[in-house]
């Protein structure tokens, strides 16, 4: 099955939590900070990443497209293609 990756840029995140509403399985609130976090994800500097399955794609798209600060990217791991946010 294809794999996808969510990437969260904590520097851009302004803590409006559209993502946690759209995809509560993958996005949570970082304790003590007005920032989102990827549940079960890995952190490197200001970037968190989480691999997700194809059946979780729709919710991840909603969260990614809903972020007004372009803090989230959804990437197809096989092709490297950016799936969301969608242009325009
Ligand atoms: S929607 Fe974007 S800015 Fe808001 S908490 Fe989620 S990642 Fe941060």
Report pTM.
0.94
2: CB partners within 8 A, 6+ apart: 54, 76, 77, 78
CA 1 to centroid of ligand 1, rounded, Å: 28
The pLDDT, as a whole number, for residue 1 is 66
CA 77 to centroid of ligand 1, rounded, Å: 22
17 neighbors 36 (Cβ within 8 angstroms): yes
Per-residue pLDDT reduced to its tens digit, 13-67: 999 899 999 999 999 999 899 999 999 999 999 999 999 999 999 999 999 999 9
**Three-state secondary-structure class, residue 73:** strand
How does strand 36-38 pair with strand 47-53? unpaired
Per-residue pLDDT for 3 more than 90?
Answer: yes
Ligand 1 atom at minimum distance from 36 CA: 5
The pLDDT, as a whole number, for residue 30 is 92
The pLDDT, as a whole number, for residue 88 is 57
CATH classification for the domain delimited by 3-84, as one of 3.40.47.10, 2.60.120.20, 3.30.70.20, 3.40.50.720: 3.30.70.20
Q: Where are the domains of the chain?
A: 3-84
Mutation choice for ligand 1 from 72, 74, 84, CB with most ligand atoms inside 8 A = 72
Among 74, 71, 48, CA closest to 61: 74
């Amino acid at each position: 099955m294809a794999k996808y990756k969510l990437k969260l840029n904590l520097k851009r995140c302004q803590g409006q939590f559209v993502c946690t509403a759209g995809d509560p399985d993958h996005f949570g609130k970082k304790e003590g900070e007005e920032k989102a976090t990827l549940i079960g994800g890995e952190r490197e500097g200001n970037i968190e990443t989480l691999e997700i399955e194809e059946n979780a794609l729709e919710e991840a798209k909603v969260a990614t497209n809903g972020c007004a600060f372009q803090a989230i990217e959804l990437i197809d791991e096989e092709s490297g293609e950016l799936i969301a946010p969608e242009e325009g």
